[in-house]
Amino acid sequence: MTAAQSREWATGYMKEQLGLDPAQPWPTNLHSTTPLPVANPIVDTDTDFRLAAAQRAWKKDDPEPTVLKPELQQIQDHDLIRKLYSRRQLLEKMVYFWDNHFNTDYRSHFRGQYEVYENEAFRTRAYGRFVDLLIASGKSPAMMVYLNTDVNKKENPNENYAREVLELHTLGVDEQGHPAGYTQADINEAAKAFTGWTVPEGSAPGFRFVSSRHSLGTKTVLGQSVAFDGSGPTEGERVLQIAASHPSTARHLAKKLCEYFVSETPSSALITEVASVFSDSGGDIRKVLIAIVTSPDFNNVANYRSLVKTPLEYVVGLYRNLGVWSSHEPIRRRLTATGQGLFEMPPPTGYKEKSEHWLNTYVLFHETAMAYEATIPGFGSTIRFGSDTSGGLTRLWLKGLGLRTEAEVLGFLLNLTNDRVATATEYQIYLTTLRSGGGAFNLDSSSTEAALDRTLASMLTNPRYLYQ
């Protein structure tokens, strides 16, 4: 494929993905032939008396209160089901980006509805204006409790959210780790602007402003005056608007998105170009994404498969590529074991995207186990291929797709797993494994099943499969 053809394909893909309205019911993955699984309803298990009882029995050295674990599993399913089955792959990739950029931790509040409320806010705004995402995050109950905005009062302003919103969510830091355009005074003043922001009374998620807690008077944030005008939240929102429009924010977000989509070390020219689109468009994420994916750097062969998959990307890609069906429990279990459990990251920095964080024996062990669980019968959890019509048999799944010969099967499986890339030695290994069932290759023969599973497991544990 030429560079021009690559850009044409990328543009077409973006148009298709961006044309799928996030507000409409989400279509399922094309591999799926049965109705989309429905997540369990989100139920607030942390009523005051149950949470209080759990916390009284929860010592520092004990595990988390088991009474709360079913709810965490429910909110993880709420997000995982969409990532595993939706055709909106770009949308789900962006939802994860925003959820990680504006990181919160379920264990800071133990209210599942808070995380779902925030997650859905990101899903409906994922391609919109950055300032709207920023405000939705700042006013979400998950963020307010996580960074203590809910107890931010004029008598003693809490700086936690103000600090993180400038350091992580907007302006960021420079190459030396120094604040990129803000000072401690800006943090102090911003903290005052957010006084009075809190969560609603009761368990329902939402936003509440308590004027009696708000610090009156003019504040100066990033060189601009912000004054309380009687409308309450407007003052805090104005601080977020100022931060969102700062040049350092444009560069910070551009760099982070380029690292997410192109390379761990994107070129300065690409970052500058994307930052310019961000600024000129008022933080229009749709335009920023188009600028990234149609850039020469995105289509440069040097950046092809240069990004290492996180455990989440590994398991979602594995399940989407193969069309496997399973309980979501083994997915949740493995993700948590690798250190990337959804809604479980304590520090506000979120999960790392750099390869050095995920390329280690511990993570690779669990990713290999996931590959074997998805291919080898009896290895861990029972997982079924393709659809409910294949009976869990790889050969019937492939036969149902119209495949017959060794070459067709190997070509199809390599296309699913490694973009048809294999050295001559690797191809011979796959072919030898495929023929290990004995006799002539035949998808109608039960003796072919185990050989097929071993061949696919070999492809999925090839180091090449670790790269996007």
**Exposure string for 86-99, b = 16+ CB within 10 A, e = fewer:** bbbbbbbbbbbbbb
Same domain, 220 and 319: no
Is residue 421 domain-resident?
yes
> Which pLDDT does position 296 carry in this prediction?
92
Is residue 178 domain-resident?
yes
Same domain, 457 and 327: yes
Same domain, 448 and 316: yes
**Helix boundaries (H) for 214-284:** 233-244, 247-261, 268-280
- Please say which residue of 230, 255, 283 terminates a domain: 230
Is residue 365 domain-resident?
yes
User: Which residues have CB under 8 Å from 442's CB, separation 6+?
Assistant: 448
- Please say which residue of 230, 247, 265 terminates a domain: 230
Is residue 297 domain-resident?
no
pTM of the model: 0.88
Q: Tokens 């690292």 correspond to what residue?
A: 259
Is residue 252 domain-resident?
no
Same domain, 334 and 221: no
Kindly write down the DSSP assignment for every residue of 181-195, as one continuous string. S--HHHHHHHHHHTT
**Helix boundaries (H) for 262-351:** 268-280, 285-293, 311-322, 329-338
- What are the tens digits of pLDDT across the range 173-186? 998 999 999 999 99
CA 115 to chain centroid? 14
Same domain, 450 and 329: yes
Same domain, 324 and 462: yes
Owning domain of residue 137: 130-230
User: Which residues have CB under 8 Å from 56's CB, separation 6+?
Assistant: none
> Which pLDDT does position 26 carry in this prediction?
54
Q: What angle do CA 422, 426, 432 make, to 5 degrees?
A: 130
- What stretches in the chain show pLDDT beneath 50? 29-67, 382, 386-390
Rounded Cα–Cα distance for residues 404 and 390 (Å): 15
Contact 88, 20 (CB under 8 A): yes
Picking from 208, 94, 95, 101, the residue whose alpha carbon sits closest to that of residue 144 is 208
For the four alpha carbons of 260, 263, 268 and 269, in that order, the dihedral sign comes to negative
Count of H-run helices and E-run strands, the chain: 21, 4
> Which pLDDT does position 417 carry in this prediction?
87
- Please say which residue of 180, 196, 230 terminates a domain: 230
Same domain, 350 and 449: yes
Q: How many domains does one find in the chain?
A: 2
Is residue 269 domain-resident?
no
> Which pLDDT does position 35 carry in this prediction?
36
User: Which residues have CB under 8 Å from 308's CB, separation 6+?
Assistant: 355, 358, 359, 466, 467, 468
Is residue 442 domain-resident?
yes
Same domain, 206 and 334: no
Same domain, 339 and 453: yes
Same domain, 324 and 204: no
Residue 70 host element (H or E): helix 69-85
**Helix boundaries (H) for 403-446:** 406-418, 424-434
- What are the tens digits of pLDDT across the range 183-236? 999 999 999 999 999 999 887 899 999 999 999 999 999 999 998 776 656 899
Is residue 83 domain-resident?
no
Same domain, 217 and 317: no
Same domain, 320 and 447: yes
